[in-house]
Amino acid sequence: MNNRYLKARTLARSKHSGQYYGELPYYVHLEAVSRLATPFGTDAMIIAQLHDVMEDTETTVDELASDFGFLVADAVSYMTDGKLEDRAKRKAMINQRLASLNADEESARLALIVKACDRLANVRASKSSSERHYDMYKLEHASFKEAVYRKGLCEAIWWELDNLIDPMTEQ
């Protein structure tokens, strides 16, 4: 493993210490997202480890830029939900931001890939452990896909995600 990746994993585990993903330590989710991001390179894996650190901790974009560079910091920033309590409003805001990204920009491209990996990890986990969350992801899928999907970007991720959400979907 690359030193930058190990640094990101160590930072993420430290920052998310004491947080849980259901009944599991939060790093289990970060590892799942990182595994899905592996085919897209080390930067995608780093972003996967850090994708929730600004949203769920006091970590700043400047801290990430200092430790990992602007590409990683910008990608994580693009993916970070706002602090609104209302999930529907929060998701509408982030979907609007993600929909506006130009996938020709490397940090935007990586943010879109990791966001799809994050959603796939969440759907996989919820399908077997939380019907309430799984149903929520099903309801959000169309608007999420409209905002995040870019033709040719990470088709295998989207194929599995679409089939988990609606197994009867014709591909």
What pLDDT does 83 receive?
73
What is the distance between the alpha carbons of residues 97 and 164, in angstroms, rounded to a whole number?
25
Number of DSSP helices (H) and strands (E) in the chain, helices first: 10, 2
Query: What is the tens place of the pLDDT at every residue in 33-88?
Result: 999 999 999 999 999 999 999 999 899 999 999 999 999 999 999 999 877 788 88
Query: What is the tens place of the pLDDT at every residue in 87-125?
Result: 889 899 999 999 999 999 999 999 999 999 999 999 999
Provide the strand spans (E) within the chain.
20-21, 24-25
Query: What is the tens place of the pLDDT at every residue in 122-168?
Result: 999 999 888 999 999 999 999 999 999 999 999 999 999 999 998 66
What pLDDT does 82 receive?
75
**Residue 73 identity:** A
